[in-house]
């Protein structure tokens, strides 16, 4: 006979989830990335609502396994992970803490939609908007060199000031 789940407070579950790193960008937690949309107990089942960064995200299966492992380590066994596609995830859901973690790691965080997000979808070799500041020297003089970075959610840039290459999280 299996032991019953540990019934932690929802705020404690959020704290656990805040320790689960994004598998593609391990300096940011799933909570700070904004993909965890809800946490609730429904009877004896812990229900976690998750919005993928995009429908084809290759990390979705790993994210689910990492969430389940983190919760199991705290005694929660009965978990239902619900994929929430509406509303779709946007980079606006990323926390300020997460944005700063990206910058400190050398990835330019995305601007918020109100901060001229459309500037990040301009021509491939245009000088980027000031919102795409170099995470190394903070210069706004940057140039996109490729729409594609190491993951589909990032683009490759170079700083025209310090000459360092860097990735920028795309505005979605």
74-124 pLDDT, tens per residue?
999 999 999 999 999 999 999 999 999 999 999 999 887 655 555 444 443
Task: Indicate the pairing of strand 107-108 with strand 79-83.
Answer: unpaired
* Measured distance CA(75)–CA(118) in Å, rounded: 45
| Cβ–Cβ < 8 Å for 167, 108 | yes
Please state, in angstroms and rounded to a whole number, the distance separating the CA atoms of residues 69 and 118.
Answer: 38
User: What's the total number of domains in the chain?
Assistant: 2
Q: What is the CATH number for 39?
A: 3.30.300.130
Final residue before a domain boundary, out of 89, 116, 131:
89
Using the predicted structure, report yes or no on whether residue 20 has a pLDDT greater than 90: yes
Which residue in the block uniquely carries the two structure tokens 């239902």? 80
Q: Are residues 81 and 110 in the same domain?
A: no
Is residue 158 within 8 A of residue 142, CB to CB? The reply is yes
Written as six digits, the tokens of 137 are 């020297």
> What is the residue range of 163's domain?
105-169
Say how far apart CA 140 and CA 129 lie, in whole Å.
7
Question: Among 23, 47, 45, 37, which Cα is nearest to 84's?
Answer: 37
- pLDDT category of residue 139 using cuts at 50, 70 and 90: very high
Structure tokens at 144: 């996109």
**One domain, residues 113 and 76:** no
Backbone angles phi, psi at 157, to 5 degrees: -130, 165
Is residue 85 domain-shared with residue 133, that is, in the same domain? no
Question: For residue range 41-82, what is the model confidence (pLDDT) as tens digits?
Answer: 999 999 999 999 887 788 899 999 999 999 999 999 999 999
């Amino acid at each position: 006979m299996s032991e019953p789940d540990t019934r932690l407070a929802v705020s404690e579950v959020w704290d656990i989830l805040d320790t689960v790193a994004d598998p593609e960008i391990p300096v940011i937690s799933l909570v700070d990335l904004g993909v965890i949309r809800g946490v609730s107990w429904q009877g004896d089942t812990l229900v976690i609502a998750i919005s993928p960064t995009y429908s084809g995200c290759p990390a979705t299966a790993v994210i689910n396994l990492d969430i389940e492992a983190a919760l199991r380590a705290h005694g929660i066994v009965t978990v239902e992970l619900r994929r929430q596609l509406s509303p779709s995830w946007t980079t606006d859901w990323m926390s300020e803490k997460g944005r700063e973690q990206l910058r400190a790691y050398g990835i330019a965080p995305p601007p918020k939609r109100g901060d001229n997000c459309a500037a990040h979808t301009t021509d491939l070799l245009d000088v980027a908007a000031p919102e795409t500041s170099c995470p190394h020297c903070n210069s706004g003089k940057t140039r996109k060199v490729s729409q594609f970075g190491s993951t589909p959610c990032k683009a490759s840039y170079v700083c025209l000031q310090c000459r360092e290459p860097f990735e920028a999280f795309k505005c979605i």
